[in-house]
Structure 1
Amino acid sequence: MAKRIDYYDDPDAPAPNSRVPSVNVIVTNAADEILTIRRSDNGNWAVPGGAIDLGESIPQAAIRETLEETGVLSKITGLVGTYSDPRHVILYTSNGEARQEFSIVLTAQPISGEPTPSDESREVRWVPREQVTELQMDRSMRMRIKHYLADTALPYIG
């Protein structure tokens, strides 16, 4: 199976050969739980997200990726921040792509649907906000969620 390997400030990381605009979405329900997925490609927990396709806006990509990965239709409500640290490289073993991080993280609320796994997510579940950072996840995902949980008035820009 193809894998995703995240490197951060690692001398063994491959040199980046692409940069793809992507989006992550922190969806919270009425109980203030966060929608999470267990990724199929590395087993880590994350919030939904993926590449922004040509012809698609940032909010359209966020809504589409969330629905595809979780079965939950959502509406976008805000911005957590932007993430473009060149020390974060993501290797996709299926094709040798070594992607430099470039992600916009948005917030959303669910409209309809039930958490349902997909090809990209082994598990999908709502997690209480005080427990979400205890899940096994990549360092960059944990940082994005912590920025959301900090609840500052300004978006993170990095």
Structure 2
Amino acid sequence: MRFTPHVTVATVVEDDSRFLLVEELADGRAVLNQPAGHLEADESLIQAALRETLEETGWEVELTAVTGIYLYAAPSNGVTYQRVCFAARPVRQTDSPLDEGIIGPRWLTREELVAQPERWRSRLVLRCIDDYLAGERFPLALIRTGS
């Protein structure tokens, strides 16, 4: 069997000590996640993060840094995900339609998120926020294309 990890992006967006999260349906239940999703063909990681944030929350954001690169094996299905997480600042909310399965954007404090671990899409939700709060910020120039 061939090992094929899934490349994903996520965005930690903070505004006044609240974080932009997505409430979405996963396996028939409502869960919380960063705006996140899969890298698509012919797009950069930065383009993917901007696109996923807009599609899942209706927010345009400005990426400011890379907070981390994570390898995560999902216990539910055994799939390995490589997640590149970005820090961003909100620019403006649009009236763009949201992706299917998205209930809506939610602004929560870390404490509000910690109070409901059963609703996290994965443990990476809090890990990315905690790394961001710990000051983990790497320049966007860390992300390079092959050209």
Answer yes or no: same fold by TM over 0.5.
Answer: yes
Superposed, 1:42-61 pairs within 5 Å as: 42=27, 43-61=30-48
Partner of 1:121: 102
Partner of 1:37: 22
Larger deviation, residues 142-151 vs 67-76: 142-151
2:112 to 104, 107, 131: 131
Partner of 1:95: none
Alignment CA distance shift 1:107-1:55 (3 Å)? same
Larger deviation, residues 107-116 vs 74-83: 107-116
Give 1:40 shift: 1.4
Give 1:148 shift: 1.8
1:145 aligns with 2:129: yes
Provide TM-score, normalisation by structure 2.
0.76
Letter in 1 for 2:106: R
Larger deviation, residues 73-82 vs 142-151: 142-151
Separation (CA, whole Å) in 1 of partners of 2:42 and 2:50: 14
1:28 to 8, 14, 27: 14
Alignment CA distance shift 1:34-1:41 (3 Å)? same
Separation (CA, whole Å) in 2 of partners of 1:79 and 1:140: 15
Partner of 2:71: 84
CA contact (8 A) 1:76 1:106 kept: yes
| Consecutive unaligned residues in structure 2, runs of 5 or more | 140-147
Separation (CA, whole Å) in 2 of partners of 1:117 and 1:77: 23
Separation (CA, whole Å) in 2 of partners of 1:81 and 1:34: 17
Instruction: Decide which structure has greater helix share.
Output: 2
- Could you give the per-residue CA deviations for residues 51-71 of structure 1, whole angstroms, max 9, x where no partner exists? 111111111100000000000
| Consecutive unaligned residues in structure 1, runs of 5 or more | 1-14, 92-97
Alignment CA distance shift 1:33-1:18 (3 Å)? same
* Count of residues in correspondence between the two structures: 133
CA contact (8 A) 2:36 2:53 kept: yes
- Could you give the per-residue CA deviations for residues 77-112 of structure 1, whole angstroms, max 9, x where no partner exists? 011100114x44563xxxxxx521210000111111
CA contact (8 A) 2:65 2:138 kept: no
